[in-house]
Amino acid sequence: MYDVVIIGGGPAAVGAAVYIARKKLKTVLIAKEFGGQSIISASIENWIGDELLTGFELAQKLEKHVRTQKGIEIIAGELATKVSEIPGGFRVDAESGKFFDTKTIILASGSSRRRLGVIGEAKFEGKGVVFCSTCDAPVFGGKTVAVVGGGNAGLEAAVDLFPYAQKIYLLIRSDAMRGDPITQDEVRANPKVEIVYNAQTDEILGDQFVTGLRYKDLKSGEAKTLSVEGVFVEIGAVPNSELVKGLVDMNQFNEVIIDHKTGATSKPGIYAAGDVTDEIYKQNNISVGDAVKAALSAYNYVLGMKRQSPAAEVSNG
């Protein structure tokens, strides 16, 4: 029986692991990969203690830090696939078929890019349909592209494309941009950008690669087609909370609801931190801070359990 299973490999999981290591609890961390979502970022300027680093450099630092922690068992390159309740705790299954019985779980599985779910999106993923403007904007030098999304992600994708694309259609489903006013001004001022409001993307067209995008004008009801060679899908993120569905309370966005003082979920023994939760500000430093709270709370929970069960205390050293 483990004391703690940490699920994730981003800033939240690493933050939890570093603090749990100091408590000498029997702990395993299951991480598909290390670094988290900002691994694709070209410049991170607000990671406290580093005035500028790339997402990849941050990922390397996080992995190095967690790997130097004594007493944390690391299962890397694997997903945790299932969480179920067992007497006295939980069972976490991993991709390899291994399972880990534990008194507590710290869920730090973050979030993934939201998909449009339209015809052609999956077929042309990597063949013109992309989800990371920082990574892929340079590939579209001299080309006409569409960016789908009128929030910060969409606007920033358009800005990333300024130096490369020949023309950028910005498709916004509503009749207004969201996102930071400064970025909105930047986007409006660039002659390469054509903003298409009330546009519901319905299909991504192509043969070998993307050749176009079909959308519905929600005002007129008319179906329209744009000739584009790239489609940047920038419509936000979905929390990786599937694992604990039905076990813990979630909000309407499927974010795990936590007590923000402790990281506790509605299920005693399961804690959560970072972008998988209902934290409003999804940021690296906040994920770490919240994970520290979850780790210390998990420690107190295990201590409580040990006090109730002297036999367990002896067997866990």
CA pseudo-torsion sign 247, 34, 283, 133: negative
Q: Does 110 bind ligand FAD (CB under 6 A)?
A: yes
When binding is defined by CB under 6 A, the residue of 254, 285, 309, 316 that contacts ligand FAD is 285
Amino acid, res. 167: K
Whether 93 is a known active-site residue: answer no
The residue range among 109-117, 136-144, 182-190, 210-218 that interacts with ligand FAD, by the rule CB under 6 A, is 109-117
User: Which residue, chain included where needed, has tokens 């603090």?
Assistant: 19
Q: Are 169 and 226 spatial neighbours (Cβ–Cβ below 8 Å)? A: yes
**Coil, strand or helix: which one is 80?**
strand
Q: Which range touches ligand FAD (CB under 6 A), out of 37-45, 193-201, 259-267, 305-313?
A: 37-45
- Report if residue 155 touches ligand FAD, rule: CB under 6 A: no
CB closer to ligand FAD, 45 vs 222: 45
Q: Identify whether 101 is a catalytic site residue.
A: no
41 within 8 A of 54, measured Cβ to Cβ: yes
135 in active site: yes
H-helix segments, the chain: 11-21, 55-67, 133-136, 152-161, 181-189, 284-308, 310-315
- Cβ contact 256:250 at 8 Å: yes
10 binds ligand FAD (CB under 6 A): yes
44 near ligand FAD, rule: CB under 6 A: yes
Catalytic residues: 132, 135-136
List interacting residues with ligand FAD (CB under 6 A): 7-13, 30-33, 36-38, 40-41, 44, 46, 79-80, 108-111, 134, 240, 243, 274-275, 282-285, 287
